[in-house]
């Protein structure tokens, strides 16, 4: 995360808001795996996509400490809502504190359960979906989210490069890498969607439902 090009990109992009800076600091001070937090470039990207789409309904699988939730809310329509799913309820206090500071708490409905448990109650249709949850189940999440995304809507999927383990010549890829590789290859062939796999951070897959 301290690659010189990454630092250069951060230095030459709009800075994080005070709320996001506070949330980043809180995450690093109080959570065991703070590196799971989106970096500022990815956060800016999510916010930019949201502002371009101006969604009425957003679905987020994998809330963590709520950083991406705030970014996604950047372009939310006036009466728009966010459904977000996070099984770890120990993170609720951090989320609530910073969602209130960002002025979005009333727009967020949180589900403290596994994504597959929540999905039957999340029917959409959604304009924008962000998937950053259990990586092994990502192909299943994408399938379920495509069913709940409106035509013309977008799904963004994190960690699809799996630290390079998805590459065909990677020695002894793990099961997650194999699942992600099969998923991205299959999605690229589907005519009902358009995909772009961006080498941003650990890989971000953009899916446009046609």
What is the phi/psi pair of residue 50, to 5°?
A: -60, -40
Which residues of the chain are under the pLDDT cut of 50?
A: none
Kindly list the structural domains of the chain, giving each domain's residue range(s) and its CATH number in brackets, ordered by start.
4-209 (3.40.50.150)
What phi, psi does 129 have (nearest 5°)?
-130, 135
pLDDT at 70: 98
pTM of the model: 0.95
- Alpha carbon distance 155, 128 (integer Å): 6
pLDDT at 1: 54
Cα dihedral sign, 115-37-32-21: negative
C-alpha–C-alpha distance, residues 156 and 166, integer Å: 18
């Amino acid at each position: 995360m301290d690659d010189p090009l990454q630092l250069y990109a951060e230095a030459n992009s709009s800075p994080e808001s005070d709320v996001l800076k506070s949330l980043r600091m809180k995450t690093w001070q109080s959570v065991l795996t703070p590196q799971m937090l989106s970096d500022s470039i990815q956060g800016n990207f999510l916010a930019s996509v949201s502002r371009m789409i101006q969604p009425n309904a957003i679905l987020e699988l994998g809330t963590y400490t709520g950083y991406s939730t705030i970014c996604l809310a950047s372009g939310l329509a006036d009466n728009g809502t966010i459904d977000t799913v996070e099984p770890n309820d120990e993170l609720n206090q951090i989320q609530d504190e910073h969602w209130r500071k960002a002025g979005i708490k009333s727009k967020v409905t949180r589900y403290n359960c596994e994504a597959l448990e929540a999905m039957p109650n999340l029917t959409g249709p959604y304009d924008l979906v962000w998937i950053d949850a259990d990586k092994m189940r990502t192909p299943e999440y994408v399938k379920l989210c495509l069913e709940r995304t409106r035509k013309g809507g977008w799904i963004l999927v994190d960690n699809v490069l799996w630290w390079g383990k998805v590459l065909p010549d990677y020695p002894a890829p793990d099961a997650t890498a194999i699942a992600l590789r099969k998923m991205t290859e299959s999605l690229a062939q589907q005519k009902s969607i358009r995909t772009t796999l961006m080498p941003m951070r650990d890989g971000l897959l953009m899916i446009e439902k046609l």
